[in-house]
């Protein structure tokens, strides 16, 4: 056997462990991560849900990572913002993620998760000095606390945000006017929920005075809606109507569904104003006149403006869901009371005496409510009458009879003044005329006594009638 054969035999018997270069495997893993990243980026506009799933799958491709829930995935994604992507891109992406989470949060557990997302974001950007993202995230956090009615935490956060919108000298920073309006909107909502009208009014006026902002129309919609509610609580119906109209326009521009609810408030304000204005005659509201979502309010205002109490009551009975909105339920009673007062006045107009039960049956309301309405009308001097609670009757003094008697009394006084002037201060009758009067059995003294007796017995108007009857009796008299 040759040396070569010995060598080959030894080679066959020996087993070698080959050491493969691991760079190829690492490169393959990197390519997978890169492909997944760019695929997610490419589809994020057309299919955001799938893109999010792709992004969230990135950390799992790294061997040292295990299974992560949403918050842990987000925590991992935040580690890329300092080196892997640009500042503007990371800010935009994080805002999109937070907006998406905010829209998808519909229960208490989701709200708790959102708070963790916001806290992680603030911690991550604490060292980057990104004031814009800091403001946006803190505003989102404040909104979360508002939704959860955590007013103590919210108040502290709002004070912190207000300070961030000031310059070093303590004056408002014009460059942060848009953020300032968002903060005012949150604070106004908080005080509206707390029924603190004094503080709400001051903030509302301050928010309207901000001129350096270009806010999202939804923000102005929120501010004006809260202002309208405030005016309604003060029974300032006209200002409430104006605020709700501006709110509706802003919500409509923003494409917010809240525009429908505010449009209902606008119709409510029109009725409380006791106005004949058609709330759907403007070009902004006209497209919604036949919208089925506000059909009930449209029918209500139509019946109200036509003084059709039966139709008004019928609409309320058939559309109980109107009362589902606490704000409408709180204010519709005033509209109903006004409507019933108009119905009572219209019903009793021909009568001087009627029963409470008669009005109650005609208007289909309870007798105590009829008594309350009539009492208010009497105190407000809309009618002149008296209520007999024991007998359940009402007696009305006819205003037309009073006015007629007053007119006749004035007429009688005028004739008497004329008579005195002619017979006492002028030359009186000529001889031949006086003879004719005396010949007829009448003289000035007799006429004067007749008028005095008639006035004392039957009042001034009957005194005039006595004069008139004597003039038409066929006796000769001339002046």
pLDDT digit string, tens, across residues 387-414: 988 889 998 876 555 666 677 778 888 8
Tell me what pLDDT residue 363 has.
Answer: 87
Q: Please, what is the average pLDDT of the chain?
A: 78
CA atoms within 13 A on the CB side of 122: 14
Highest mean pLDDT: which range of 10-19, 58-67, 428-437, 445-454: 445-454
Q: Mean pLDDT highest for which of 4-13, 55-64, 99-108, 434-443?
A: 99-108
Per-residue confidence (pLDDT) for residue 85, from 0 to 100: 64
Q: Say yes or no to pLDDT of 45 above 50.
A: yes
Q: Return the minimum-mean-pLDDT range out of 19-33, 48-62, 223-237.
A: 19-33
Q: Over 60: is that where the pLDDT of 417 sits?
A: yes
Q: Out of 123-127, 178-182, 326-330, 443-447, which region has the weakest mean confidence (pLDDT)? A: 443-447
Percentage of the chain beyond pLDDT 70 is 71
What whole-number percentage of the chain has pLDDT above 90? 33
356/372 Cα distance (integer angstroms): 10
Average confidence (pLDDT) over 196-214: 90
Q: Which pLDDT score is estimated for 172? A: 87
pLDDT surpasses 50 at 20? no
For the entire predicted model, the pTM comes to 0.65
415-444: average pLDDT: 58
- Average pLDDT, integer, range 116-140: 80
pLDDT digits (tens, 9 = 90+) for 433-477: 544 444 444 455 555 555 555 555 555 444 444 444 444 444 433
Average pLDDT value for residue range 297-304: 92
Is the pLDDT score of 34 beyond 60?
A: yes
Residue-level pLDDT at 26? 47
pLDDT band at 228 (very low <50, low <70, confident <90, very high): very high
Give the pLDDT band (50/70/90) at residue 424. low
- Sorted by sequence, the CB contacts under 8 Å of residue 404 that are 6+ apart come out as none
**Residue-level pLDDT at 148:** 86
What is the C-alpha separation between 399 and 412, in angstroms, rounded?
20
SS (H, E, C) the chain: CCHHHHHHHHHHHCCCCCCCCCHHHHHHHHHHHHHHHHHHHHHCCCCHHHHHHHHHCCHHHCCCCCCCCHHHHHHHHHCCCCCCCCHHHHHHHHHHHHHHHHHHCCCHHHHHHHHHHHHHHHHHCCCCCCHHHHHHHHHHHHHHHHHCCCHHHHHHHHHHHHHHCECCCCCECHHHHHHHHHHHHHHHHHHHHCCCHHHHHHHHHHHHCCCCCCCCHHHHHHHHHHHHHHHHHCCCHHHHHHHHHHHHHHHHHHCCCHHHHHHHHHHHHHHHCCCCCCCCCCCCCHHHCCCHHHHHHHHHHHHHHCCCHHHHHHHHHHCHHHHHCHHHHHHHHHHHHHHHHHHHHHHHCCCCEEEHHHHHHHHCCCHHHHHHHHHHHHHCCCCCEEEECCCCEEEECCHHHHHHHHHHHHHHHHHHHHHHHHHHHCCCCCHHHHHHHHHCCCCHHHHHHHHHHHHHHHCHHHHHHHHHHHHCCCCCCCC
Cα–Cα distance, 247 to 228 (Å, whole number): 8
Mean pLDDT, residues 346-369 taken together = 89
Confidence check: pLDDT of 8 > 70: no
Lowest-pLDDT range of 25-29, 353-357, 448-452? 25-29
Contacts with 471 (C-beta within 8 Å, 6 or more apart), sequence order: 477
> Residue 410: its pLDDT value, please?
82
pLDDT beyond 80 at 324 = yes
Average the pLDDT over each of 122-131, 286-295, 327-336 and give the range with the smallest value. 122-131
> Does position 419 have pLDDT exceeding 50, yes or no?
yes
Q: Residue 167 is encoded by which pair of tokens? A: 């310059």
């Amino acid at each position: 056997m040759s040396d070569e054969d010995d060598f080959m035999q030894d080679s066959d018997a020996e087993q070698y462990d080959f050491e493969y270069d691991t760079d190829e495997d690492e490169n393959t893993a990197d390519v997978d991560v890169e492909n997944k990243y760019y695929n997610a980026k490419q589809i994020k506009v057309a299919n955001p849900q799938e893109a999010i799933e792709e992004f969230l799958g990135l950390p799992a491709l790294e061997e040292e990572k295990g299974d992560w829930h949403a918050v842990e995935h987000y925590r991992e994604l935040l580690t890329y913002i300092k080196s892997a992507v640009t500042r503007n891109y990371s800010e935009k992406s994080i805002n999109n993620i937070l907006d998406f989470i905010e829209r998808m949060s519909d229960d208490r557990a989701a709200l708790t998760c959102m708070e963790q997302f916001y806290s992680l974001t603030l911690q991550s950007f604490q060292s980057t000095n990104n004031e814009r993202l800091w403001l946006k995230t803190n505003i989102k956090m404040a909104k979360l606390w508002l939704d959860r009615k955590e007013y103590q935490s919210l108040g502290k956060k709002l004070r912190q945000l207000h300070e961030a919108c000031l310059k070093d000298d303590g004056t408002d920073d014009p460059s942060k006017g848009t953020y300032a309006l968002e903060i005012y909107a949150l604070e106004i909502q908080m005080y509206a929920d707390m029924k603190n009208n004094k503080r709400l009014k001051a903030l509302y006026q301050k928010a309207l005075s901000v001129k350096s902002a270009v806010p999202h129309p939804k923000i102005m919609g929120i501010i004006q809606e809260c202002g309208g509610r405030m005016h309604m609580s003060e029974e300032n119906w006209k200002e409430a109507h104006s605020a709700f109209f501006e709110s509706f326009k802003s919500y409509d521009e923003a494409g917010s569904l809240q525009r429908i609810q505010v449009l209902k408030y606008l119709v409510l304000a029109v009725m409380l104003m006791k106005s004949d204005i058609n709330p759907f005659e403007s070009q902004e509201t006209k497209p919604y006149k036949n919208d089925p979502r506000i059909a009930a309010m449209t029918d209500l205002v139509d019946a109200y403006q036509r003084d059709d109490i039966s139709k008004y009551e019928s609409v309320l009975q058939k559309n109980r869901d109107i009362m589902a909105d606490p704000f409408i339920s709180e204010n519709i009673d005033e509209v109903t009371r006004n409507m019933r007062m108009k119905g009572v006045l219209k019903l009793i107009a021909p009568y001087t005496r009627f029963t409470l039960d008669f009005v109650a049956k005609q208007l289909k309301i309870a007798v105590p409510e009829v008594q309350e309405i009539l009492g208010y009308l009497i105190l407000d001097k809309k009618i002149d009458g008296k209520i007999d609670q024991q007998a359940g009757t009402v007696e009305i003094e006819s205003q037309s009879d009073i006015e007629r008697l007053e007119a006749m009394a004035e007429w009688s006084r005028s004739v008497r003044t004329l008579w005195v002037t002619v017979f006492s201060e002028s030359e009186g009758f000529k001889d031949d005329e006086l003879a004719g009067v005396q010949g007829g059995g009448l003289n000035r003294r007799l006429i004067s006594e007749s008028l005095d007796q008639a006035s004392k017995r039957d009042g001034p108007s009957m005194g005039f009638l006595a004069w008139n009857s004597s003039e038409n009796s066929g006796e000769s008299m001339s002046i």
